[in-house]
Structure 1
Amino acid sequence: MATFSTEGTSEPVPLERAVTSRARRRGLLGRDGIDGALLLAPARSVHTLGMRFPIDVAYLDRASRVLAVRTMRPGRVGLPRPRARAVLEAEAGAMARWGLRRGVRVTVREG
């Protein structure tokens, strides 16, 4: 399983990847939660229609720097971020614990 880290994380965070277009469209739909985060790439926006729980969303540029972090309640549609190349999704509150905020670089490790 892959992991990711930032300057603010004390240990690597479990990371799932949505690599197919079908997996990116589905995202976290139908789940009751996630241990870690889900990376959707390529992606510029997300929605929470049909979601069971609120999520944190981090929009990443091509250098894996965070452009913005938003918390989305179920039933919302996010606006596309023109410079975003990927989106990181996690349970609401997780990104603050991990130190993910605008300008922070995310490092992904396969393993």
Structure 2
Amino acid sequence: MKVVNLSNGAELANNLSTADTFFKRLKGLMFSKSLPAGHGLLIRPCQSIHTFFMNYSIDVLYLSEDFEIVGLDETVKPATVGKYHKRAKSVLELPAGMIQKTETKIGNYLTIN
């Protein structure tokens, strides 16, 4: 699957995985060696994340039901707890630096297909 920012046309990921079961959400990116450029993980349902048992930083987008960005965390370091976003229905985890590189902002809308 591919993720595009509808607000500016920037591609955020072209190889998106989904964690939509209890065990997939529980594992997330834990114990993975990296999150390569072009890859991402969509976790749903989800309102907050952590980066325990990870060895690299990530960017995090908190998404509403209609994929509006309602929160973001840039370059979340390992062993960190992310913010809780009440309006979030899912979370998109991306390689660190992707938010800045694509000029993604709160209020932007994404498309996932």
Scaled by the length of structure 1, the TM-score of the pair is 0.88
Q: Does 1:66 align with 2:69?
A: yes
Deviating beyond 3 angstroms after TM superposition, the runs of 4 or more aligned structure 1 residues are none
- Give identity over the alignment, percent: 29
**Secondary structure of 2:82's aligned partner:** coil
Q: Which runs of 5+ in 1 are unaligned?
A: none
Q: Does 1:32 align with 2:36?
A: no
Distance 1:25 1:38 in 2: 13
**Secondary structure of 2:105's aligned partner:** coil
Q: What is the aligned-residue RMSD (CA, Å)?
A: 1.6
Kindly state the Cα deviation for residue 33 of structure 1 after the two structures are TM-superposed: 1.4
What is the aligned counterpart of 1:42 among 45, 51, 68?
45
**Secondary structure of 2:45's aligned partner:** coil
Distance 1:12 1:73 in 2: 20
Distance 1:8 1:33 in 2: 26
Match of 2:83 in 1: 79
Number of equivalenced pairs? 108
Distance 1:68 1:17 in 2: 19
**Secondary structure of 2:2's aligned partner:** strand
Contact 1:69 1:100 in 2 (8 A): no
Distance 2:63 2:12 in 1: 20
Distance 2:13 2:46 in 1: 23
